[in-house]
């Protein structure tokens, strides 16, 4: 984006995020949902909106929604209401969506996240409400004059999280979304998969002259199904609006569709054609009651939130913020790490264990989603290294065997004769001298300046000690003897 635009204009962004709740069944009926299943197999009369059916609220969906409200510090209404939002579209069999309107179950709250420079930002929320997802239209290839509709997604519980218009850049918008996604995942209520649509984002963008207090006219962009799309679309739109204002024009309030291939937006509808949803209270459902006792019960089971975890890992184990963030973003890693720390004997082992996990296990974990070495074995290995029972070099060999599926590092090391270490007092110097006597030509080379011969001698010592010598100590000793 042309940075000069930002000298003159201040972007203002507000995000609307839809998150599918990973409940066992749909919002108003006992039909399960899974992504990617054969079309129109996860349906029943309620999902299809057939006449004569009645919706029944899914208690688990409400519990999930309350957990989110608690995590973001929102105000929960003890008595909220569902409303009908009408529009005509083939993916909406009833002709209306059951949503919440003037009495959402949650208002206020905030999402905290870190910007690229490590500063913390809080974006306040307007509201969170519960609703049901629509089906999905599948348009045939260009030229074919028909579309298909899949109702599997219809009726899946959603929360819509609406932010205040207080986000100042594309980077901040992405930071906010990533933080929100990690909260959803930590709570175990949504997998946050943008590509599969379990988390979807609409971005509202306006600009105003720097220093102005009145908000500019906004446009709303849809179809942002990756963080890159969110970022690209917002930057594109900021620049486009600046161009309009610079040319003396006015921004027209509109709903736009982002085309990732073209890197452009196209107008879906303008304000004049904006839909009138004719909201009214849902007559088929009683008010939604969320008693305080239930909220308290759910609050007790709220897990540690991502940024709190990050802060604690830095404070308790002196991890770098960078490393702590990797743990924060990979849910299964932190419990594994902390279990290994406690098995090893305490926080003093934290940094070493974190290093092993992040350098030796993270790759496999990312590829397979599995941790191939048990916390017990990793802890035992690190304890042996720290206690001088196993050199770092031999620990790598033992670790390779753990990775290959073997267990019990102490037994493995013992069986392979790798236990113990050879120190300076254990005849290391004599061994070096012996090697030098046996290789006078190499000694000559070293003394004539070919110092890379050192590697040969260190290698020989390692071979003879079966890797039990401290490589740094051997190097120092040899340098001393050779010079």
Task: Tell me which residues touch ligand ADP (CB under 6 A).
Answer: 12-16, 162-165, 204-206, 215-216, 218
110 and 124 Cβ atoms separated by less than 8 Å: yes
- Gap between the terminal Cα atoms of the chain: 60
For the chain, how many residues are written?
A: 483
Q: How far apart are CA 60 and CA 290, in angstroms?
A: 12
**DSSP structural state of residue 167:** B
**CB burial readout 74-102, b (16+ within 10 A) else e:** bebbeebbbbbbeeeeebbbbebbbbbbe
Residue 341: partners with Cβ closer than 8 Å, 6 or more residues away:
317, 347, 349, 350, 353, 379
- Residue closer to ligand ADP, measured from CB, 271 or 407: 271
Q: Which residue has the tokens 């290294």?
A: 385
Q: How far apart are CA 438 and CA 33, in angstroms?
A: 74
Q: How far apart are CA 135 and CA 40, in angstroms?
A: 9
Closest-by-Cβ residue to ligand ADP is: 14
CA 206 from chain centre, in angstroms, equals 28
Residue 287 has a CB neighbour count (10 Å cut-off) of 14
- Residue closer to ligand ADP, measured from CB, 13 or 111: 13
84 and 101 Cβ atoms separated by less than 8 Å: no
- Residue closer to ligand ADP, measured from CB, 164 or 408: 164
- Residue closer to ligand ADP, measured from CB, 204 or 225: 204
């Amino acid at each position: 984006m042309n940075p000069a635009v930002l000298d003159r204009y201040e972007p203002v962004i507000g995000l609307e995020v839809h998150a599918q709740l990973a409940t066992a069944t749909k919002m108003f009926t006992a039909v399960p949902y899974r992504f990617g299943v054969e079309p129109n197999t996860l349906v029943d009369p309620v999902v299809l909106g057939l006449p004569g059916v009645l919706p029944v609220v899914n208690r688990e969906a409400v519990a999930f929604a309350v957990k989110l409200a608690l995590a973001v510090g929102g105000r929960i209404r003890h008595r909220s209401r569902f409303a009908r939002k009408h529009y005509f579209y083939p993916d909406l069999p009833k002709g209306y969506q059951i949503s919440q309107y003037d009495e959402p179950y949650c208002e206020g709250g905030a999402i905290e996240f870190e910007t690229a420079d490590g500063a913390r930002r809080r974006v306040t929320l307007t509201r969170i409400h519960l609703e049901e997802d629509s089906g999905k239209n599948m348009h045939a290839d260009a030229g074919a004059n028909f579309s298909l509709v899949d109702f599997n997604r219809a009726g899946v519980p959603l929360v819509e999280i609406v932010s205040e218009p207080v986000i100042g850049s594309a980077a901040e918008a992405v930071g906010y979304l990533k933080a929100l996604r990690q909260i959803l995942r930590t709570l175990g209520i949504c997998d946050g998969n943008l590509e599969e649509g379990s988390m979807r984002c609409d971005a509202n963008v306006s600009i105003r002259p720097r220093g102005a207090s009145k908000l500019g006219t906004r446009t709303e962009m849809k179809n942002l199904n990756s963080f890159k799309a969110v970022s690209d679309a917002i930057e594109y739109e900021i620049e486009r609006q600046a161009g309009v204002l610079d040319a003396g024009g006015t921004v027209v309030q509109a709903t736009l569709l982002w085309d990732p291939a073209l890197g452009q937006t196209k107008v879906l509808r303008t304000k004049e054609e904006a839909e009138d949803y004719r909201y009214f209270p849902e007559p088929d459902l009683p008010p939604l009651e969320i008693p305080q006792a239930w909220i308290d019960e759910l609050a007790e089971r709220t897990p540690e939130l991502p940024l709190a975890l990050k802060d604690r890992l830095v404070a308790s184990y002196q991890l770098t913020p960078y490393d702590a963030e990797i743990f924060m973003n990979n849910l299964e890693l932190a419990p594994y790490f902390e279990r290994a720390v406690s098995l090893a004997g305490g926080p003093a082992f934290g940094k070493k264990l974190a290093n092993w996990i992040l350098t030796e296990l993270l790759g496999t974990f990312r590829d397979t989603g599995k941790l191939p070495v048990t916390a017990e074995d990793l802890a035992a290995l690190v304890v042996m290294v720290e206690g001088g029972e196993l050199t770092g070099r031999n620990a790598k060999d033992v670790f390779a065997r753990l990775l290959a599926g073997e267990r019990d590092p102490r037994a493995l090391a013992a069986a392979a004769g790798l236990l113990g270490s050879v120190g300076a007092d254990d005849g290391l110097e004599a061994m070096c001298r012996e090697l030098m006597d046996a290789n006078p030509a190499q000694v000559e080379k070293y003394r004539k300046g070919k110092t890379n011969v050192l590697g040969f001698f260190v290698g020989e010592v390692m071979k003879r000690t079966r890797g039990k010598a401290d490589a740094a100590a051997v190097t120092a000793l040899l340098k001393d003897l050779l010079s």
